[in-house]
Amino acid sequence: MTANTVYVLDLESGNLRSLQNALAKLGYDVKWIKTPEDGLDEAQILLFPGVGNFGHTVANLRRRGFVEPLKAYIASGRRIMGICVGLQALFTGSTESPGVEGLGIIPAQLEKFDDSNKSVPHIGWNSAAVIDEDKQGLYGLRPDSKYYYVHSYRASVAAVVAAGWTVATGNYNGEEFVGAVCKDNVFATQFHPEKSGVAGLKVLRAFLEGEVISKSAVEAAVGAVVKPGLTKRVIACLDVRTNDDGDLVVTKGDQYDVREKSATASTGGQVRNLGKPVEMAERYYLEGADEVTFLNITSFRNCPLVDTPMLEILRKTSETVFVPLTIGGGIRDIVDPDGTKISALDVASTYFRSGADKVSIGSDAVFAAEEFYANGEKLTGKTAMETISRAYGAQAVVISVDPKRVYVDSPDATTHHVIKTATPGPNGEVYAWYQCTVKGGRETRDMDVIQLVTAMEKMGAGEILLNCINKDGTNSGFDLELIQDVKDAVSIPVIASSGAGKPDHFLEVFEKTTTDAALGAGMFHRGEYKVSDVKQYLSEHGLLVRNELE
Ligand code: 1PR
């Protein structure tokens, strides 16, 4: 052990690699503690990270014999920092898991956010502003900074303050929640400091260095403009595949066709090569991307899990990119070429261990929804969505939807959910439905997008990544009609995708729909605009965005 060793509880859930990478960036190494016997006695600084379900986490603590030793650790005055569910476990209980007793260090309960006027889970960048005047700068927290949250349950500020805790708060559409709490040797954040860019690393550093009130945070916040609330998220997406020379490249399609148009070769042109995945992800992080998504677009091919090229990309990216990483493509039950069966949950776990915060599921979601409807809308508990959501929390499961517009003369012409469109079809049709596809748009299915997303919400998905094949790569703006239709059908967050060609398209989708986030690919890859151009444009037009420098 060195003076720079941090003890971290390892309950074997979620993405611990990111925390380890953030600690490494700050000059600390990690001693993992899976049971109290792993060295809890000698720890002087302890981190308690966690994602997912309250009951699951507390049960895990009990099973490993942590409850009393942790209480004793806290009573001894040694420093502890809870992160996300690590904060929640300090409370007495949560309506998420009725009857399950938390550690009871903070005498208050957690309750679910009201989803009647907003998406739940609360996903994205929000504040953690210290409410006590004399505690400004607490562990580096700044009232004008934004931090990354993913949670559905919140603690009431009044109850925690009444119990004598210092509280930093955020506000989500009128509901105030505890973003961070502190009392004596206990500090905890509902947000993920390891995923909150520079602002989050500052908080982590202040805690590790025992800088209870950070002077630099106080000075930096003087005169700063404080804008409470959840920001609009801007996401950079990288479609990744092997090109014809065997190199792993970022590519980009036009309506999912990623090959250069070639007049000569009847076989089609080369796969478009727009750059190297890890370098491009880092560039977008530095430009202020709120999240980075990788999609392995040749995932329908079989390859042994350990050789999956995305794993290495994730490992490397998570060393330098401290915002959430999503990985999609190939999250399903697989059989390795040697006959080994690997469940979708195990595939996802491998990705989480390699640095992913969320997995995105495409084709398998459509197949699971088909079965769901064929079985009279019964949940089996066995689908990829259900198993991953149960183990890692809904927020870790994104559904990537690849719909195609199908025009019809009248709503009666199909059994599917139809919209009236302002963009008529080739024969003047003013009605359309959105047909789900699988295998990267190669195959259409008899399912509409609303059937898919509503089934996915029931299966425990936490977010919808809504592409549109007709719009992909066209630079003509997002499909606003599709996006609002899906937003109206679900209460989980939606990421608008496909068609972004300039900053104004982002403004348009945020102003004309209620989307939670918007994603761009080609316009960033081709260097036409930076992520920071989009954020600045949104900010100039009065939208709340995260400024990476704060
Ligand atoms: O089915 O679970 O194995 O996942 C495969 C994943 O790969 C799905 O998420 C699917 O969307 C994606 N995918 C498969 N083939 C392609 C392709 O392009 N040939 N890419 C593909 C999907 C769409 C977006 C794109 C936006 C924004 N890419 O992610 O980035 O449309 O683009 P733009 O801003 O340039 O318009 P599974």
State the pLDDT at residue 220: 84
For the Cβ of 500 lying below 6 angstroms from any atom of ligand 1, the answer is yes
Structural tokens at position 7: 């003890």
Q: Ligand 1: distance of its center to the CA of 7 in Å?
A: 39
Which protein residue's CA is at the shortest distance from atom 15 of ligand 1? 440
Which helix (H) or strand (E) covers residue 359, if one does?
A: strand 358-361
Q: Ligand 1: distance of its center to the CA of 92 in Å?
A: 43
The verdict on residue 424 lying in a domain is no
pLDDT in tens, 98-116: 999 999 999 999 999 999 9
What is the torsion angle, in degrees rounded to the nearest 10, for the CA atoms of residue 444, residue 445, residue 448 and residue 453?
Answer: -100
State the pLDDT at residue 393: 87
Tell me how far apart the alpha carbons of residues 1 and 157 are, in angstroms, rounded to a whole number: 38
Q: Are residues 91 and 239 in the same domain?
A: no
For the Cβ of 369 lying below 6 angstroms from any atom of ligand 1, the answer is no
State the pLDDT at residue 335: 86
Please, which residues bridge with residue 58 across strands? none
The verdict on residue 422 lying in a domain is no
Q: Which atom of ligand 1 is nearest to the CA of 253?
A: 18
Catalytic amino acids? 84, 192, 194, 239, 402
Structural tokens at position 73: 């650790």
pLDDT in tens, 134-154: 999 999 999 999 999 999 999
Report the percent of the chain where pLDDT is more than 70. 96
CB neighbour class for 446 (10 Å; exposed up to 12, middle 13-18, buried from 19): exposed
Tell me how far apart the alpha carbons of residues 309 and 226 are, in angstroms, rounded to a whole number: 42
For the Cβ of 403 lying below 6 angstroms from any atom of ligand 1, the answer is no
Q: Among 201, 221, 241, give the residue marking a domain's end.
A: 221
Q: Are residues 191 and 294 in the same domain?
A: no
CB neighbour class for 185 (10 Å; exposed up to 12, middle 13-18, buried from 19): middle
Which protein residue's CA is at the shortest distance from atom 26 of ligand 1? 498
State the pLDDT at residue 319: 96
Q: Are residues 190 and 335 in the same domain?
A: no
Domain extent, residue 25, equals 5-221
State the pLDDT at residue 15: 79
Q: Are residues 181 and 256 in the same domain?
A: no
The verdict on residue 182 lying in a domain is yes
Q: Which atom of ligand 1 is nearest to the CA of 362?
A: 2
Q: Are residues 173 and 257 in the same domain?
A: no
Q: Is the predicted pLDDT of residue 263 greater than 60, yes or no?
A: no
pLDDT in tens, 265-322: 555 688 999 999 999 999 999 999 999 999 998 866 666 676 677 899 999 999 999 9
Q: Among 221, 250, 285, give the residue marking a domain's end.
A: 221
Q: Is the predicted pLDDT of residue 243 greater than 90, yes or no?
A: no
Q: Ligand 1: distance of its center to the CA of 237 in Å?
A: 9
Mean pLDDT of 89-93: 97
- Tell me the best of 385, 438, 467, 525 to mutate to test the pocket of ligand 1, counting ligand atoms within 8 Å of each CB and taking the most: 467
Q: Are residues 237 and 216 in the same domain?
A: no
291 and 233 Cβ atoms separated by less than 8 Å? yes
Q: Ligand 1: distance of its center to the CA of 271 in Å?
A: 15
Tell me how far apart the alpha carbons of residues 147 and 387 are, in angstroms, rounded to a whole number: 28
For the Cβ of 238 lying below 6 angstroms from any atom of ligand 1, the answer is no
Cα distances (angstroms) measured from residue 57 to each of 9, 67, 199:
11, 11, 27
Q: Which atom of ligand 1 is nearest to the CA of 467?
A: 31
pLDDT in tens, 453-500: 999 999 999 999 999 999 999 999 999 999 999 999 999 999 999 999
pLDDT in tens, 167-178: 999 999 999 999
Which helix (H) or strand (E) covers residue 376, if one does?
A: none
Decide which of 264 and 353 is more confident.
Answer: 353
Q: Are residues 250 and 351 in the same domain?
A: yes
Which protein residue's CA is at the shortest distance from atom 23 of ligand 1? 467
The secondary structure of 176-197, three-state, reads EEEEEEEECCEEEECCCHHHCH
- The answer for residues whose C-beta is within 8 angstroms of residue 313's C-beta and 6 or more apart is 240, 248, 277, 278, 281, 294
Q: Among 188, 221, 254, give the residue marking a domain's end.
A: 221
- The answer for residues whose C-beta is within 8 angstroms of residue 244's C-beta and 6 or more apart is 270, 271
355: nearest Cα among 402, 410, 395, 313: 313
For the Cβ of 205 lying below 6 angstroms from any atom of ligand 1, the answer is no
Which helix (H) or strand (E) covers residue 524, if one does?
A: helix 522-525
74 and 82 Cβ atoms separated by less than 8 Å? no
The verdict on residue 415 lying in a domain is no
Please report how many Cα atoms fall inside a 13 Å half-sphere around the Cα of residue 147, on the Cβ side. 30
Q: Are residues 44 and 173 in the same domain?
A: yes
DSSP type of residue 156: -
Tell me how far apart the alpha carbons of residues 190 and 186 are, in angstroms, rounded to a whole number: 13
Count of domains observed in the chain: 2
The verdict on residue 88 lying in a domain is yes
Tell me how far apart the alpha carbons of residues 279 and 284 are, in angstroms, rounded to a whole number: 9
The verdict on residue 417 lying in a domain is no
- Tell me the best of 235, 241, 256, 300 to mutate to test the pocket of ligand 1, counting ligand atoms within 8 Å of each CB and taking the most: 256
Structural tokens at position 18: 């990111």
Q: Are residues 196 and 100 in the same domain?
A: yes
Here the CATH number for the domain that contains residue 269 is 3.20.20.70
204: nearest Cα among 21, 32, 23: 23
State the pLDDT at residue 392: 86
Let me know the angle formed at the C-alpha of 34 by 29 and 35, rounded to the nearest 5 degrees.
125
State the pLDDT at residue 530: 98
Q: What is the mean pLDDT of the chain?
A: 94
Here the CATH number for the domain that contains residue 169 is 3.40.50.880
The verdict on residue 320 lying in a domain is yes
Which protein residue's CA is at the shortest distance from atom 19 of ligand 1? 256
Amino acid at 394: A
State the pLDDT at residue 14: 75
For the Cβ of 82 lying below 6 angstroms from any atom of ligand 1, the answer is no
DSSP of 282-304: HHHHHHT-SEEEEEETTTTS---
Which helix (H) or strand (E) covers residue 124, if one does?
A: strand 122-126
- Assess: ipTM above 0.85: yes
CB neighbour class for 382 (10 Å; exposed up to 12, middle 13-18, buried from 19): middle
Mean pLDDT of 379-402: 94
Q: Ligand 1: distance of its center to the CA of 356 in Å?
A: 18
State the pLDDT at residue 171: 97
State the pLDDT at residue 549: 64
Q: Which atom of ligand 1 is nearest to the CA of 402?
A: 11
Helices and strands in the chain: count of H runs, count of E runs: 17, 28
For the Cβ of 14 lying below 6 angstroms from any atom of ligand 1, the answer is no
Q: Which atom of ligand 1 is nearest to the CA of 299?
A: 3
For the Cβ of 277 lying below 6 angstroms from any atom of ligand 1, the answer is no
Q: Are residues 277 and 154 in the same domain?
A: no
Q: Are residues 241 and 202 in the same domain?
A: no
Q: Ligand 1: distance of its center to the CA of 238 in Å?
A: 9
Q: Are residues 278 and 215 in the same domain?
A: no
Which helix (H) or strand (E) covers residue 394, if one does?
A: none
For the Cβ of 402 lying below 6 angstroms from any atom of ligand 1, the answer is yes
The verdict on residue 414 lying in a domain is no
16: nearest Cα among 41, 35, 34: 34
The sign of the dihedral angle between the CA atoms of 94, 201, 141, 531 is negative
Tell me how far apart the alpha carbons of residues 368 and 294 are, in angstroms, rounded to a whole number: 23
For the Cβ of 397 lying below 6 angstroms from any atom of ligand 1, the answer is no
For the Cβ of 364 lying below 6 angstroms from any atom of ligand 1, the answer is yes
